[in-house]
Amino acid sequence: MTLYIGREASKLWKRICSETTTEINLLAGNWRYILAGLIFQYIHGLAARGVHYLHRPGPTLQDVGFYILPELGQDKAYISESVFTCIFLSFFAWTFHPFIFKTKKIYTVLVWCRVLAFLVASQILRIITFYSTQLPGPNYHCREGSKLARLPPPQSPFEVLLINFPRGVLYGCGDLIFSSHMIFTLVFVLTYQKYGSRRFIKQVAWLVAVIQSLLIVASRKHYTVDVVVAWYTVNLVVFFIDKKFPGLLKISQITHKMSSKIDFFWVSRTDANFLLCFTELPDRSGGGMAPMLLPLSVKDKDGWNKEENHKLLNGNSVDPADWVER
User: What would the pLDDT profile of 218-228 be if each residue is shown by its tens digit?
Assistant: 999 999 999 99
Q: Report the pLDDT value the prediction gives residue 5, as an integer from 0 to 100.
A: 66
Closest CA to 84 of 226, 176, 179, 149: 179
Considering only CA atoms, which of 163, 160, 184, 226 is closest in space to residue 90? 184
242 given a catalytic annotation:
no
Active site residue 263: no
pLDDT of residue 166: 63
Query: What's the confidence (pLDDT) of residue 127?
Result: 96
The confidence score (pLDDT) of residue 124 equals 96
Q: Where are the beta strands (DSSP E) in the chain?
A: 293-295, 323-325
Q: What pLDDT is recorded for position 306?
A: 52
Q: Give residue 12's pLDDT band: very low, low, confident or very high (50, 70, 90).
A: confident
Single out the catalytic residue among 44, 52, 55, 181: 181
User: Which pLDDT belongs to residue 293?
Assistant: 38
49 DSSP assignment: H
Mean pLDDT of 254-280: 41
Q: What pLDDT, on a 0 to 100 scale, did the predictor assign at position 99?
A: 84
The reported pLDDT for the residue numbered 163 is: 73
Q: Which of 131-145, 168-182, 200-214 has the lowest mean pLDDT?
A: 168-182
What pLDDT does 213 receive? 96
The string of DSSP codes covering 123-134 is HHHHHHHHHH-P
pLDDT digits (tens, 9 = 90+) for 61-118: 999 999 999 999 888 888 999 999 999 999 999 998 888 877 667 889 999 999 999 9
Spatial contact of 53 and 172, defined as CB atoms under 8 Å apart? no
pLDDT higher than 80, residue 120: yes
Greatest Cα-to-Cα distance within the chain, rounded to the nearest angstrom: 76
Radius of gyration of the chain (CA): 24
What average pLDDT does the chain have? 78
Q: Which of 46, 57, 207 is nearest to 137 (CA)?
A: 57
Decide if pLDDT at 299 tops 60. no
User: Which among 44, 52, 55, 222 is annotated as catalytic?
Assistant: 222
Closest alpha carbon to 254 in 270, 271, 278: 278
Catalytic hit among 44, 52, 175, 226: 226
The answer to whether residues 131 and 51 touch, using CB atoms and an 8 Å cutoff, is yes
pLDDT of residue 263: 36
97 among known catalytic residues: no
Beta bridge partner(s), residue 323: 295
Write out the DSSP string of 205-269.
HHHHHHHHHHHHHHTTSS-HHHHHHHHHHHHHHHHHHHHTHHHHHT-PPP-S-TTS-----S--H
What's the pLDDT at 249?
35
Give whole-number Cα distances, 103 to 45, 97, 106, 287, 299, in Å: 36, 9, 10, 8, 31
The dihedrals phi and psi of 133, each to the nearest 5 degrees, come to: -140, 125
Among 68-82, 129-143, 151-165, 292-306, the minimum mean pLDDT is found in 292-306
Q: Which of 258, 277, 257, 256 lies closest to 267, judged by CA?
A: 277
- Pick from 42-51, 135-144, 201-210, 313-322: least confident: 313-322
